[in-house]
Structure 1
């Protein structure tokens, strides 16, 4: 993973659900959370088809891709879309994370972490401490990016 140079105004971050997830409040929360920390956010919305997500990220060249799931199918969607994003040379090193309700049970989400990392995600956030871990990840990541 390499880090793009951040502008003084923060990072360019894409937040999105995946094709099967129609939930939007999680994306609104993430967008506000990231914007309050000085980042620029493109929110692609709900039910984003794989090809639209890949094409937008390819063209936008974001500093970070954040995928969120609420419907319990995040693992299945993530395992499908991560290799598509990583297959694009311009996205192969872009930091990419996934979080939310990734399986039907909390245990499913926890166990999916290994598979999702192997598929191409840099980090997986699930469970009751996920926002705290995401906050710490974002702080570490932002500090590593040259201004």
Structure 2
């Protein structure tokens, strides 16, 4: 786990999914968020959903960012959001997911709908970095006010 502090920016918890051992994506997200002035807790790869929930309860982040590279992000992400949303104190915590969410390499509109219906506030399955940066900018403005 890697924690960085920025003076007043939003608190972001970055995590991989339970079956994804990739870390470069998590480091990239951490650096991107730090550049935007965010305080980042990076839980790393292969994080079980119960650990993500425990860290969210302990840290009360302004946003949880879930990233997947191995193509199992959709399935792992559904299990994770179920655990997070089962906690009453996390029901309103914003959670987003992105990366390679399926193994077929195709944009899966049905999977995006299932992830949103399960409780994700946004799904970034198409590498839309501009939309992600806009989300972070809006969050930063909200936290600053």
TM-score using structure 2 length: 0.89
Matched, 1:89 2:64: no
Match of 1:139 in 2: 137
Match of 1:9 in 2: 8
Match of 1:103 in 2: 102
- Aligned-pair distance for 1:71? 0.2
The gaps in structure 2 that reach 5 residues or longer are 1-5
- Aligned-pair distance for 1:109? 4.2
The number of aligned residues is 140
Runs of 4+ in 1 over 6 A off after TM superposition: none
Q: 1:46-99 CA distances to partner (integer Å, 9 max, x unpaired)?
A: 000111111111111101000000000000001111011011111110110000
In 2, the alpha carbon distance for the partners of 1:146 and 1:87 equals 29
Match of 1:58 in 2: 57
RMSD: 1.6
- Aligned-pair distance for 1:139? 1.7
In 2, the alpha carbon distance for the partners of 1:137 and 1:109 equals 22
- Aligned-pair distance for 1:23? 0.4
For residues 110 and 26 of structure 1, do their structure 2 counterparts lie closer, same or farther at Cα, with a shift above 3 Å needed?
Answer: farther
1:19–1:77 contact (8 Å) kept in structure 2: yes
SS of corresponding position for 1:67: strand
SS of corresponding position for 1:31: helix
In 2, the alpha carbon distance for the partners of 1:110 and 1:28 equals 27
2:11–2:61 contact (8 Å) kept in structure 1: yes
For residues 46 and 109 of structure 1, do their structure 2 counterparts lie closer, same or farther at Cα, with a shift above 3 Å needed?
Answer: farther
- Aligned-pair distance for 1:115? 0.5
In 1, the alpha carbon distance for the partners of 2:81 and 2:108 equals 16
